[in-house]
Structure 1
Amino acid sequence: MALESNERPDRPIAKFESMLKTDDIYFFDAEDFEDIIHHYLNNGKINLAKKAIKIGLQQHPGSIELKLLDVEVLVFENHLDLAEQYLDELQLLDSSNEEIFIQRANIYSKKDNHEAAVALLNKALDLSENSFDIYSLLGMEYLFMDDFKLAKESFMRCVSFDEQDYSSLYNVIYCFEFLEDYDGAIVYLNDYLERNPYCEVAWHQLGKQYIAKNMLNEALGAFDFAIISDDTFIGAYFEKGKVLEKLGRYNEAIENYETTIKMEDPTSHAYLRIGKCHERLGNYEMAKYYYYHTVHEDPLLDKGWLAITDFYYKRNNYKKALFYVNKALNIDGENPQYWKKCATINAALQRYDQADFSYKQAVDLGNYELGTWLDWADVVFKNKDVRGALQILAQGQEFYPDNAVIKYKAAGFYLEMNDSINARISLIDALKLDIQKLPVFNEEFPQYAATDWVRNIVAKHEKSKGKTS
């Protein structure tokens, strides 16, 4: 027996769930079913949404809105062909329904045809009286197309419709940041704050833009206003702490990080920042205490293990540093900086084979910094593989063809091999690139720097340079 809606004064969702638990069948208005289905979709309860759609269509078989919600679920579950078939049928019944074009756009978006999706959403805009959601969808399509200018304009329209739409506000700022238009973001946020002076989200974002411009005092002021607007806004305290660190005001930074710990469960990131502040203040035992708290709170935070690594490395305790950098590598073995750090520590321990392997890993993972090539070559040279060291320098030269230091080092290595011809060529090339870097050669290879052979090459270069000038 079907019970009328007004016989059950309970809220539609509670009444619907009660119905599912019993053999009773309650009658709902089509609008009630729409509310129920939207509730489940918004909360990710797809199976309950599908049950509501099925029962809703049994009670209201002619409801286009319920059929469109059925299509929405089909699109979500990637049943795109069936969804398109239903949309074709619906369009014959109601060709001016903007939701039909929106769902077609979603299908094209799923197929990575974002240009077609944009065209359909623009058609939906022509038919819609409430275009807020459509502009949000347009913004996302433009993001997929890497058209950040149009994406920004779309999300701006969303914010103009609803200034409490913080999701769109974040997306506007994201577009500004991607376009590296920090000045534009600052102007936009200040204009927004003129109308919403107590919006902690906008103050927080404004502070981050000031940081990008290295306007640290202005950033500090923005975060203060974010905290005034909402004194429980943990993100503002944390960002304020980071700015205070950059300003060298470490004790104040610690106070802000500690506030975040008091307000919510402690986070490993807060412990890490507090540890770094104490280390800069010279409170080394306190720094160590917080670094260990960091990894205790989150053993998978590789930056915590790296902080402990650096702590011991700076104090020449290389064995402990090696132990802890390996902890970081066990968590993120694809991080080239960690492999480079591991190589540096192994080199300090004179474990040149392991250092060689670690530098190779760093380079294979994409670390092509000049220092990596130079240090790797030194390690291989100290391991008595001069040819290998020269090969590494040759690889580095491909990335830094105009770098004189590589050439000076190569000249020294060739001299170690008694290859005076290639040593002469490398030294002359280095002098041509930058004679001011000659002291690098003199310091690293003093046994050759004072020889007449080197002095003559340098003198001839200076003489020829004088003639050409």
Structure 2
Amino acid sequence: MKIKILTRFLFIIFIFFLISSFSLFGSFQEGYELYKQGKYYDAEMVLLREKEISPNNVDIYAVLGWCYLNTGDYSKAIEISEDGLKLNSRDTRLLTTIGRSYMEMKRYPDALSYLQKSVSYNPNYAYSYYYIGRIYQSQGKLILAETALSAGIMLKKDNYLFYKYRAQVYEEMMNYKMAEEDYKRALTLKPNDPALKEALIKVISKQTELESTYQ
């Protein structure tokens, strides 16, 4: 009899924890879905509540960091990512979020420090190279910018922003032919972007003008 009662008790505890784990997972998924829908403040509320329940889930810190990035609260993005790094010091999402936050704050040495650390831990994370390229572009270090953006594109070929910014770098280098190719690639990924269309027209015009000077 005692064995049956104990077995039943353990079974109830097992079911309770199973339901709880599904509930927690669902809460994180709810926050993540809200983030993907661009509902950053709603996502923040859900994820902060989830963090209180499940403080060791690094994914929560990563998505919260992205929410703060998208709302322009770079100090909070850094703070929550630093908290996440206490759980996993090699998480490239967190390192890249901090790097990007410092980039937006124009604290380029700090940004590069975190982004280069991210690359050293995970050389296959495309966004680290992308933001490194953006920083070098801002500093006028065009060859380094082109190298970093090209590395990012090798890893991720489906993001129009990678091609857009490399096109800008080529344009600054007066390599209008390569810039034209990249603007066209960006437009295949985002065909209705008026800014990209305008940039393509301008760079074709510059290429035509350059060719005419050598005729």
- Please tell me the TM-score bracket, short chain as reference: 0.7 to 0.9
Other-structure match for 1:205: 29
Which ranges in structure 2 are unaligned for 5 or more consecutive residues? 1-17, 211-215
CA contact (8 A) 2:158 2:189 kept: no
Other-structure match for 1:3: none
The 1:313/1:247 distance shift into structure 2, 3 A limit, reads same
CA contact (8 A) 1:250 1:277 kept: yes
Q: What does 1:141-152 correspond to in 2, within 5 Å?
A: none
What is the count of residue pairs matched by the alignment? 191
Using the TM superposition, give the Cα deviation of residue 326 of structure 1 relative to its aligned residue in structure 2, in angstroms: 1.7
The structure whose RCO (Cα within 8 Å, separation 6+) is larger is 2
Are 1:276 and 2:100 counterparts? Answer: yes
TM-score, normalised via structure 2 length: 0.74
Which ranges in structure 1 are unaligned for 5 or more consecutive residues? 1-161, 167-198, 387-469
Other-structure match for 1:315: 139
Question: Match for 1:353 among 173, 177, 187?
Answer: 177
Distance in 2 (alpha carbons) for counterparts of 1:213 and 1:383:
38
* Partner SS, residue 340 of structure 1: helix
Q: What is the RMSD of the two structures over their aligned residues, measured on CA atoms?
A: 2.8
Other-structure match for 1:79: none
Aligned amino acid, residue 145 of structure 2: A
Are 1:256 and 2:80 counterparts? Answer: yes
Of all paired residues, the percent bearing the same amino acid is 17
Using the TM superposition, give the Cα deviation of residue 201 of structure 1 relative to its aligned residue in structure 2, in angstroms: 2.5
Other-structure match for 1:48: none
CA shift digits 1:67-89 (9 cap, x unpaired): xxxxxxxxxxxxxxxxxxxxxxx
TM-score, normalised via structure 1 length: 0.37
CA contact (8 A) 2:99 2:112 kept: yes
Q: What does 1:37-436 correspond to in 2, within 5 Å?
A: 163=19, 166=22, 199-208=23-32, 210-211=34-35, 212=37, 214=39, 216=41, 218-333=42-157, 335-363=159-187, 365-368=188-191, 369-384=193-208
CA contact (8 A) 1:227 1:236 kept: yes
Other-structure match for 2:13: none
Distance in 1 (alpha carbons) for counterparts of 2:20 and 2:27:
14
Using the TM superposition, give the Cα deviation of residue 165 of structure 1 relative to its aligned residue in structure 2, in angstroms: 7.4
Distance in 1 (alpha carbons) for counterparts of 2:147 and 2:113:
18
CA shift digits 1:150-185 (9 cap, x unpaired): xxxxxxxxxxxx84573xxxxxxxxxxxxxxxxxxx
CA shift digits 1:6-41 (9 cap, x unpaired): xxxxxxxxxxxxxxxxxxxxxxxxxxxxxxxxxxxx
CA shift digits 1:21-62 (9 cap, x unpaired): xxxxxxxxxxxxxxxxxxxxxxxxxxxxxxxxxxxxxxxxxx
* Partner SS, residue 274 of structure 1: helix
Distance in 2 (alpha carbons) for counterparts of 1:342 and 1:367:
15
Distance in 1 (alpha carbons) for counterparts of 2:68 and 2:186:
33
Distance in 1 (alpha carbons) for counterparts of 2:142 and 2:27:
44
